[in-house]
Amino acid sequence: MARLRRRKKESIETDIMELLNLTPMMDVFTVLVVFLLITAVFTSITIMDLSVPTSAGGATAAKPNFAIEVVVRKAGLEIANGRAVEAAIPKKDGKYDLQMLTDLLLALKAKYPEKEDATVLMEPKIEYDYLVQVMDTVRGVKTPLFPKISIGDAP
């Protein structure tokens, strides 16, 4: 009797395992993978060449070099020449005045047409989006202004 019960129990367990069919589940996963691959949006990443200023100095030039620095501060934007602040642009309605920055950069470009490099300096704890907006403004959207941009921390 005990042997008969064991055989019935073993046959019931194997019958349950045979009833569990994984083929429909595998079919669903296959369709799901194909669907996800077809609907996936493949984005292209644009890489912009930036240079970071180094502390190692090279040979000094005979004529003084004019540097354009755009400093992003919590209170607003500043344009400096490397030694002193040339212009300060306060925030307008809680936002940076990028139009005024564009106007000042256009005036600098007219004054120094051969100049292609500029430095964007940023204070800590300012949103990254503002850095991108200022960099786009310095590069120039409609008219190329200063395409060679260096980034760094504001003093």
- pLDDT tens-digit readout, 44-93: 556 666 666 555 555 544 444 678 899 999 999 999 887 888 889 999 88
* pLDDT 10s digits, 19-46: 777 888 899 999 999 988 888 766 655 6
pLDDT score of 63: 46
C-alpha span between 135 and 146 (Å, rounded): 10
Half-sphere CA count of 66, side-chain side, radius 13 A = 11
* pLDDT 10s digits, 89-141: 999 888 999 999 999 999 988 888 888 889 999 998 889 899 899 999 999 87
> Which one, of 137, 127, 129, lies nearest residue 100 by Cα?
137
Quickly tell me which residue has 């200063």 as its tokens.
146
pTM: 0.59
> Which one, of 53, 54, 86, 55, lies nearest residue 70 by Cα?
86
For the chain, the structural domain boundaries read: 69-153
Quickly tell me which residue has 């240079």 as its tokens.
51
The vertex-134 CA angle with 146 and 126, nearest 5°, equals 140
pLDDT score of 27: 93
Neighbouring C-beta atoms of residue 147, cutoff 10 Å: 13
